[in-house]
Amino acid sequence: MHKLFLTAMAAGFLLACNSGDTSSTEIKTDTSVATVVTEPVSLITPLTDAEKADGWVLLYDGTLKGWHKWNGGAPSPGWKADSTLHLDKSSSGENDGDLTTDEEFENFDLKYEWKIDTAGNSGVMFYAVEGADSAKFYRPFYTGPEMQVLDNAKHPDAKIIKHHAGDLYDLISCSKETVKPALEWNSAEIKADKGKLDFYLNGENVVSTTMWDDNWKKMIAKSKFKEWPAFGTYKKGHIVLQDHGNNVWYRNIKIKKL
């Protein structure tokens, strides 16, 4: 009787397993093996009902849907989609695999988390515009400003002012250094609303400026971006995760249009 009951129970569990995408665990008894069906485990933190009501949407859902390689084509093979959006340079020798949103954004609030490999470098660019004219659009930094991602302790860029993690790259230094060491997660936010630009790193407002005014133009004229006339001029564009040749991880990427 006991053996027949276990056999029937196991068959029922196996039938349930075959009916959908669920995870399962084997439980061994003296006489039989039963498969216990469990709920699937989500790898991506979902938005709360309050966030959805407030207009937030996920930019990363565990797949590369909604993203492409800069100036078109499938994402570089180095970008891996799982619980994080990870650039794995061990599987890709390319340095031109900047990952780009399909959608363009105008006024927005972007939140995300990142961690960088030891001595690593990356960045998040915005208002980046694609096009066939290589003189203007060859790389995303020809048009799009960047919030720097960096290992401040070991990457050579940390020796250069305005190149630290959280900086408005080559334009404005962080008001304070709040970055965590390499391979630790940082929370970041870029808020761009009608020319008002704010960067937050680990809860601190580290950069605040106004885009497109005379001071903005003067800053660009004194920076490395002066050789690209279209840099920092667009008021709508793509968000880009930079392939700078180093391993980097992103997660919980979400945006709200303002």
Domains belonging to the chain, first-starting first, are: 2-38 (no CATH), 49-257 (2.60.120.560)
Asked if pLDDT for residue 39 goes beyond 60, the answer is no
Asked if pLDDT for residue 10 goes beyond 90, the answer is no
Asked if pLDDT for residue 40 goes beyond 50, the answer is no
Q: Percentage of the chain surpassing pLDDT 90?
A: 79
Q: Tens of pLDDT along 84-143?
A: 999 998 866 666 699 999 999 999 999 999 999 999 999 999 999 999 999 999 999 999
Lowest mean pLDDT among 1-10, 181-190, 232-241: 1-10
pLDDT of residue 96: 64
Which three-class secondary structure state does DSSP give residue 124? strand
Lowest mean pLDDT among 29-33, 61-65, 100-104, 116-120: 29-33
Q: Which two tokens stand for residue 231?
A: 């840099």
Q: What angle do CA 96, 101, 102 make, to 5 degrees?
A: 110
pLDDT of residue 26: 46
Asked if pLDDT for residue 16 goes beyond 70, the answer is no
State residue 88 phi and psi, 5-degree precision.
Answer: -105, 100
pLDDT of residue 95: 65
Mean pLDDT in residue range 140-158: 98
Mean pLDDT in residue range 183-206: 98
pLDDT of residue 17: 37
Mean pLDDT in residue range 146-166: 97
Asked if pLDDT for residue 1 goes beyond 90, the answer is no
Lowest mean pLDDT among 14-28, 102-116, 162-176: 14-28
HSE-up (13 A, CA, CB side) for residue 236 = 7
Q: Which two tokens stand for residue 239?
A: 């968000």
**What does each C-alpha distance from 253 to 56, 97, 157, 223, 246 come to in angstroms?**
10, 19, 25, 29, 20
Average pLDDT of the chain to the nearest whole number: 87
Contact 161, 149 (CB under 8 A): no
**What's at 237, amino acid-wise?**
G
Asked if pLDDT for residue 9 goes beyond 50, the answer is no
pLDDT of residue 90: 84
**What does each C-alpha distance from 255 to 110, 171, 210 come to in angstroms?**
4, 24, 20
State residue 187 phi and psi, 5-degree precision.
Answer: -100, 135
Contact 222, 232 (CB under 8 A): no
Backbone φ/ψ region at 212: left (φ over 0), alpha (ψ -120 to 50), beta: left
